Amino acid sequence: MVLYFLPGCTFTKVGVCVSEECAVTASASTATGGMCVFTMLILSPQAGCPKANSSTPMELVYPKSTNGELFPWNELRLPASVRPVNYDLSLTPNLTSMTFTGHTIINMIIQHDTKRIVLHSSEINIIKATFQVGEGKSVEVKVLEYKPWQQIAVSFPEDLKEGQVCVLTLDYTASLSHTYDGFYNSSYNDKTGAKRVLAATQFEPQAARKAFPCFDEPAFKATFLVRITREPEYIALSNMPKAKTTTLPSGMLEDEFEQTSVNMSTYLVAFIVANFTSITRNVSSTLVLYSVPEKKEHTQYALDTASRLLQFYNTLFDTEYPLRKLDLVAIPDFLAGAMENWGLITFRETSLLVQNQSSPLDKQLIANVVAHELAHQWFGNLVTMRWWNDLWLSEGFATYWQYASLMTEFPQLDLGNVFLEERFKAMAKDSLNSSHPVSVSAQVTTPEQVSEMFDSITYEKGASLLLMLNSTLPDGQFRKGLIEYLHQYRGSNTVTDDLWNSITQVAVVCLRNPVSYIHRLLPQQESVSDMMRTWTLQKGFPLVTVSRKGGEVTLTQEHFLLSTDNTTHTSSLWHIPVTYVNDSKSMFMYLSAVFCFLLLATLKVSESVKWLKLNYMNTGFYIVHYGDEGWAALIDALKTDVSTLTPHDRASLIHNIFSLSRLGRVSFRQVLSLLDYTTNETETAPLTEALSQLSSIYRLLDKRQERRLVARMKVPILDLKESVSSQELRSALLELACSLGRQNCTDQAKALYEQWTNSNQTNRIPGDLQRVVFSVAAQSDPGWLSLLDTYRLTTYDSEKRKILQALASTQDPRRIMWPVWTGCCEDVACFNWLCVCRFPVGSYPIQSIIKSTTSQFSTQTHLEEVQGFFSSLKERGSQMRSVQEALETIRLNQHWMDRNLATLRDWL
């Protein structure tokens, strides 16, 4: 039996496809176990769909509800016939039984005549439901449930009419979730060692339905009034300030919070019941930071950072933060780094709490996360994407502004180099055939497809495109366009074109220093939308090739795609905003003309110009190939004077030539020729990129068990490391040196660890050296066990995170697995549960696990092992995009090694 699903087809009971574009018809249908089963007659595309008998009304096929009745809806997305206006939520969690009861009143308006109301509910036991139309009588109604799609529905014998106001009231019970989403339970040990419990929420992307029945899609915005009943020893928090507290006859307390002053999507609703304490700061609204009581002294840095950034964003966006309070809450057991719930931002403790004596790198992490979540209060919360296929409108913006805001307000954190590294990582993912467009026009409906949108394409590539656009527009126009966007769509939902249209109203691109002698296939005044649609609607990015004959330079473009097997080539090209510099400009006179080209561009330069470097400061999302002569000229220039180019431009050249080597466009000997200049390099960005690329090759060789080459590969890496003395690189470089077995490094790390343990941990290890010291200690049995004991007892969050990373760095597989097996698992089935149930399929943790465990494989044996493992999983797991990315990466690693192993042997 074969079932074909084609775009636009809806099957009916009489076996007719409604869409005339469909080439499939159903000859019979039955419903079994809630799933529709069709026996199919396959027609040729030319045959088209058979026409329905005009006298036979077509009746759609619906799935079966849990009670055996037909469920009145047959799509994953909700119908648009009903719009919620307000939710009145009352919840009573029991932190002893780990259950809760709920009472939800949904006020809604009918948008189109309909006989059904369909909404979301998951893992909730609905006890009673009543329905009221206008001022009419409230009547009890039957609720149908279709669990595979997490939907419930109420059907009516007659149409509800457009414009009618209705009220649906639902009483229900549920268990607090044992995973990290929905309304979940968490626990921690206080300073006395006693276990404490709490309940918190994580609703993004589709888990509000686990806490209360709702229209759980971002476009269904509404207002919310929340009541939480709690025991007196706890406090309750929600998105809005507390309006009043009532003592109930049972002795319990009911906190009622103000109704939200803005319409918001369900995934931004939040509430917490816990024993927390707080510190407060008044900015434009009341800013409060909550933590467990014994960690109150670790909250000051985050509060100071949030205060400055809130003022910065208020001014930058010309839109005041709209709520009367903003809570930042440190939760001991929280899967995401943080969550931007409006007015109640939740954080993993290690993403919010830091000691005053902590290292700059620890503070950099805190500042990054705080800046990201505060930016969401405007981008994502105030203006929200209509659907998850445009998630980048939220996450891409938050990522961009996290770097832009910190580079302005906290320049000492040196986030410019970090942002550059993240752009390089996004390009690595986007160079694969398994990548996807930033704005996905293809179907994104299933929970797995939605979860997979939370990746580096959405976050880092989205941010990179905003950087490129800002660098292309004349000064100030980018900000003006964003202010227009926020003002125009405040409180609403948008798609990507809405953003480009808003910016286009105040700006045009490719007019800075216009150069009349550039030939291109673009209009003289290209709109932002014209340019940016070529970047957001197709996956990948361009490779720009530079050809020069005397004073004439020709630029051409093509899709930079590493894969050659089963590739999907893009049919479009990119409107590329090109910047360039050459040796006719002094270091302080960089004037990079900005122009766009689509297919071919030519420009004139003086024949005395020795070299050109495109993509000034690497603000564009593309790679440049200069040809043999062009690369030779740039390499000679750097060997003559390393300061000829900016540090970011030097890092860009290193990244580009390694990427071209993977593509097969340059030889590895050319790569090594460029790296020769790094003996004189002292800046962070280029050295970090060179070390990253060489370390990746080292790990490839190590996984292939090329023992002699691995030993020799250590020498150039350690030689490169010796060039650097900057503070911000000390931790990463020492960690690299110790991992490569440099004796003086491991000896010093062991000595520091012994001093720390012998002093009963009063002789502090410098914050930026803790991870490398702990990692060295974890390689011995006594050190690993003592670290495990320390991990269980320490209350310092940044220290706790580094100990956990060190425990996982051991090479003893028994040690790696011990916490898993002793914590919950006794067999393989349990381990599968840990990976797939604790971390849902498609979620970011699963993506990270797959990438980190497979990215350095490069042999046929490795490829077959990974293929075999994932093919044994259920289909929805094996079809994850991250699995396809892993297999593609292994094949590419294999091809690169086949081409370059001989050269590596000669060099080493």
Burial class (CB in 10 A: 0-12, 13-18, 19+), 5: exposed
Annotated binding residue at 395? yes
Is 373 one of the annotated active-site residues of the chain?
A: yes
Q: How far is it, in rounded angstroms, from Cα 533 to Cα 536?
A: 5
Q: How far is it, in rounded angstroms, from Cα 127 to Cα 462?
A: 44
Residue type present at position 183: F
Q: What are the tokens at 272? A: 């917490």
Q: How far is it, in rounded angstroms, from Cα 664 to Cα 645?
A: 26
- Pairing type for strands 165-175 and 595-597 reads unpaired
Annotated binding residue at 559? no
Half-sphere exposure (CA, 13 Å, Cβ side) for 103?
A: 5
End-to-end CA distance of the chain: 58
- Pairing type for strands 114-120 and 151-160 reads antiparallel
Q: How far is it, in rounded angstroms, from Cα 196 to Cα 641?
A: 61
Helices (runs of H) and strands (runs of E) counted in the chain = 26, 34
DSSP state of 522: S
Please state, in angstroms and as integers, the Cα–Cα distance from residue 597 to each residue in 38, 574, 614, 617, 801, following that order. Answer: 51, 8, 13, 19, 47
Q: How far is it, in rounded angstroms, from Cα 353 to Cα 347?
A: 9
Question: Annotated catalytic residue: which of 204, 258, 373, 799?
Answer: 373
DSSP state of 461: I
- Which DSSP string do the residues of 207-239 spell out, in sequence order? TGGGTS-B--STT--BEEEEEEEE-TTSEEEES
Centroid of chain to Cα 59: 41
- Which DSSP string do the residues of 755-806 spell out, in sequence order? HHHHTTT-SPPPGGGHHHHHHHHTTSHHHHHHHHHHHHH---HHHHHHHHHH
Cis peptide before 205 (omega within 30 of 0): yes
Residue type present at position 894: Q
Residues in the chain: 908
Q: Are 691 and 706 contacting, i.e. CB atoms less than 8 angstroms apart?
A: no
Residue type present at position 272: I
- Pairing type for strands 114-120 and 125-133 reads unpaired
Please state, in angstroms and as integers, the Cα–Cα distance from residue 444 to each residue in 267, 390, 601, following that order. Answer: 17, 10, 37
Half-sphere exposure (CA, 13 Å, Cβ side) for 169?
A: 11
Q: What are the tokens at 613? A: 């470097």
Helix (H) or strand (E) run with residue 636 in it: helix 627-640
Tokens 């911000």, residue located? 728
Q: Are 541 and 622 contacting, i.e. CB atoms less than 8 angstroms apart?
A: yes
- Which DSSP string do the residues of 421-442 spell out, in sequence order? HHHHHHHHHHTSTT---SS--S
Burial class (CB in 10 A: 0-12, 13-18, 19+), 580: buried
Residues 479, 481, 482, CA angle at the centre, nearest 5°?
65
Q: Are 561 and 623 contacting, i.e. CB atoms less than 8 angstroms apart?
A: no
How many Cβ atoms sit within 10 Å of the Cβ of residue 552? 13
Annotated binding residue at 372? yes
Query: What beta strand segments (E) does 599-642 contain?
Result: 600-604, 612-614, 623-625
List residues forming the annotated binding site.
372, 376, 395
Could you give the residue numbers annotated as active site? 373
